[in-house]
Amino acid sequence: MAGSSGAPHNTVPRHSGNHTHAHPKVFFRLAAKNLTRYRRRTTITASAIAFGVAVFIAMASLLGGMVAEGDRNFSNYETGSAAVTAAGYWDEREQFPLDMLVEDGAALTEALETEGFAAAPRVAFRGELIVHYDPYPEDGSAHLGMYGIDPARDPEVFNLAESVTEGRFLEQDEHGILISAWLAERLGAEVGYPVTITTRTRDGFHQIMDLDIVGIYETPNPTVDRSSIFMPLETAEYYLELAGAVTAVHLRLPEQVPGAADLAPVRSALESAGFLNAEELELLGFNEMTADFAAAVELQDAVFRVILFLLATIAVVGISNTMLMAVLEREREIGMMRALGVRDREIGVMFMFEAAGIGLLGGIIGMLFGTAAVWYLTQHGIDYSAMLEGIEMDLRFDGVLYGVWSLGTTVSAAVGAAVLAGVVALLPVRRILRRTITESLRTH
Amino acid sequence: MIRVQDLHKEYIDGETHVRALRGVSLEIAKGEFISIAGPSGSGKTTLLNIIGCIDTADAGTVTIDDDTITGARKSDLVEIRRMKIGFVFQNFNLIPVLSAYENVAMTLSLLGLAESEIRERAMKMLAEVGLVGMEDRRPAKLSGGQQQRVAVARALVKDPLIVLADEPTANLDSETGESILKLMKSINERIGTTFVFSTHDQMVMEYADRLCRLHDGVIESDELRRSA
């Protein structure tokens, strides 16, 4: 028989275009069994992934908490949901300008109220608070932001009235002020103590106010607590000679963070009443007013992403190393499977399932630990007060930062770990599959 | 059924060019029990690998069941291996995390058969190779001979055109090795499966109906010992 030749044959095998297909569950089962093959390695890798997922979930919770707390504190104590100001005022607000005003604050407020919007005018100005020995422990002064507020309307928009912890809230037209507990502690102030405020009128003349502390407040907004005192709007208006002008009229809308559509009715009402037509005034939404805070959050977010990247790198290196060792140790087995007719793609799928299994295991464990961490953070928070003492921050959270629940983040972290692990597994598998079957079969 | 014509294969081993096959031609008919014999480096494993579609020739043609495999697409070669060729390896090469049954059944799973058919055929084949009652044992709980029986069952369960066995008894003691040979021979006689196995063991050669001796990549002799 040796050396014989035959008739011409098909040059293309008859199987072309009619390939058999193994059910993926074959490889899923095999991957599941292989998970128990290297228990210690699987445990270590899954633990590393679990750590990363748990830290990610906890950090996302804290970041979410910080953003939510910041939004609440801005909205409840500084901005409301929206505000009407003189054009360009908001960008200059930290300079407390009195030449960029809403001239007829009362009329604007009433126009908004007529349309059913809760509105409260405020006057913001800078002044120096001066206290003297007796009744104070010593002489002292502080440059602060001062706010004239409408005692009747302000509680419709802001939560300041609910934050009074000693004394009482302001009354119309009285010569009284509210100071924060933080400031009171540092000045040695108590309810009933007198204060002197020096400032300048709208026209730039020096002005001195003699007022009494009628209440002490404490808000969760450290920026407000450390830099703001409040007095009745009429009192501020009188001393500053504003003739009815205010720096802003703030609004409370059903949506804490209103979008353009939510602001449309307000804009329409203002236009109907003739307030926005001359382009002297502008309507600002919450996002526009808190752009600085959003930038600070973005910075935090960037730091968070760097940490996330590092965690992902740990997971990738861990899973990659595990899978590389697995494929190297099983190269002959891979060669045998290819010889039996398992396609390269199917071997890739099998290792992807296997790595995804480790990733999912780590993800689920991480999800459990992360959930426990989030529970702790929502209940007890993390106390940064010692760290933040004396630090000026643009982040509106008090000493204790609480986490928030995010089911989406929690689940996506676990699923993401599984997907990432599965994808990463392809790299070492591809390396082995580049070798010929005979090379793989010769491996010892 | 299998026709090998003027097959050449050269590979590089370090800095040495090894001419593993130098114009090998061979025809194997259905139902043959043929041994490719020769010393190490004679090219017998290379020949088996090319016939088994897991290696490629530099020149020459191989046809299996009227399909020319030399020059065929990779995906078609996979299909031929999956459907038509069974392998028995020297090192058994069972998957350690699978039981004896699962190792055998996996071959059928690749064909996309129904679970019930897979179970029936795998159990029947395990019984055929004398492993009744050991279906659930993993390879580590089986002796070398039992593992090779599983490997034989795995190769045969899909009813291939040809079973290629590369030194199937090399890792077994002579008694166990002989029992494996007897098993393969009996299956060959009863079912008519074509067996091609490489060996340098005289005892293995004794079992072959046809003995093809390779030396330095050339067929030295092709001897029909008894009719299949």
What are the tens digits of pLDDT across the range A409-424? 899 888 998 999 899 8
Quick check: B79 contacting A, CB < 8 Å? yes
Quick check: A186 contacting B, CB < 8 Å? no
Quick check: A8 contacting B, CB < 8 Å? no
Report CB contact under 8 Å: B79, A336: no
Question: For residue A396, is pLDDT > 70?
Answer: no
CA A441 to chain B, closest CA, distance in angstroms equals: 9
Q: pLDDT per residue over B7-60, tens digit each?
A: 999 988 788 888 999 999 999 999 999 999 999 889 999 999 999 999 999 999
Q: Which residue of A has its CA nearest to B72?
A: A12
Cβ-contact A200, A206 below 8 angstroms:
yes
Beta strands at B16-28 and A281-285: parallel, antiparallel or unpaired? unpaired
**A residues 339..368 contacting B (CB < 8 A):** 339-343
Find the CB nearest A340 among B79, B107, B219.
B107
Find the CB nearest A15 among B49, B76, B89.
B76
Q: How many CB pairs under 8 A join A and B?
A: 131
Question: For residue B192, is pLDDT > 50?
Answer: yes
The amino acid that residue A247 corresponds to is T
Distance CA B139, CA A288 (A): 69
Q: Considering only CB atoms, which chain A residues are within 8 Å of B72?
A: 12-13
Q: What confidence tier does B137 reach under pLDDT thresholds 50, 70, 90?
A: very high
Q: Considering only CB atoms, which chain A residues are within 8 Å of B78?
A: 19, 338, 341-343
Quick check: B217 contacting A, CB < 8 Å? no
Using only C-alpha atoms, what is the Rg of chain A? Answer: 33
| pLDDT: which is higher, B83 or A2 | B83
Quick check: A380 contacting B, CB < 8 Å? no
Quick check: A4 contacting B, CB < 8 Å? yes
Mutation to test the A interface, candidates B97, B119, B161, most A Cβ within 10 Å: B97
Report CB contact under 8 Å: B27, A6: yes
Distance CA A350, CA A16 (A): 24
Half-sphere exposure of A395 (CA within 13 A, CB side): 22
Report CB contact under 8 Å: A9, B68: yes
Q: What confidence tier does B177 reach under pLDDT thresholds 50, 70, 90?
A: confident
Q: What confidence tier does A13 reach under pLDDT thresholds 50, 70, 90?
A: very low
When pLDDT is averaged across residues A255-278 and rounded to a whole number, the result is 83
Mutation to test the A interface, candidates B61, B67, B194, most A Cβ within 10 Å: B67
The amino acid that residue B160 corresponds to is P
Report CB contact under 8 Å: B72, A10: no
Name the E strands within A256-394. Answer: 281-285, 382-383
Provide the 8-state DSSP code for A34.
H
Distance CA B122, CA B118 (A): 6
Quick check: B123 contacting A, CB < 8 Å? no
Find the CB nearest A22 among B73, B80, B109.
B109
Quick check: A442 contacting B, CB < 8 Å? no
Beta strands at B210-215 and A382-383: parallel, antiparallel or unpaired? unpaired
When pLDDT is averaged across residues A21-31 and rounded to a whole number, the result is 85
Per the structure block, which two tokens stand in for A72? Answer: 């609440």
User: Tokens 């709980």 map to which residue?
Assistant: B141
CA A319 to chain B, closest CA, distance in angstroms equals: 20
Beta strands at B194-199 and B162-166: parallel, antiparallel or unpaired? parallel
**pLDDT score of A208:** 95
CA B186 to chain A, closest CA, distance in angstroms equals: 23
Q: Which residue of A has its CA nearest to B138?
A: A33
Strand partners of residue A401? A382
Lay out the sheet containing B85-88: strands in order across: B85-88, B162-166, B194-199, B33-37, B210-215, B218-224
Quick check: B174 contacting A, CB < 8 Å? no
The model's pTM:
0.77
Question: For residue A16, is pLDDT > 50?
Answer: no
Counting residues of chain B whose pLDDT is more than 70, the rounded percentage is 99
Question: What value does the mean pLDDT of chain A take?
Answer: 88
Q: Which residue of A has its CA nearest to B157?
A: A340
Distance CA A276, CA B160 (A): 86
Q: Considering only CB atoms, which chain B residues are within 8 Å of A338?
A: 54, 78
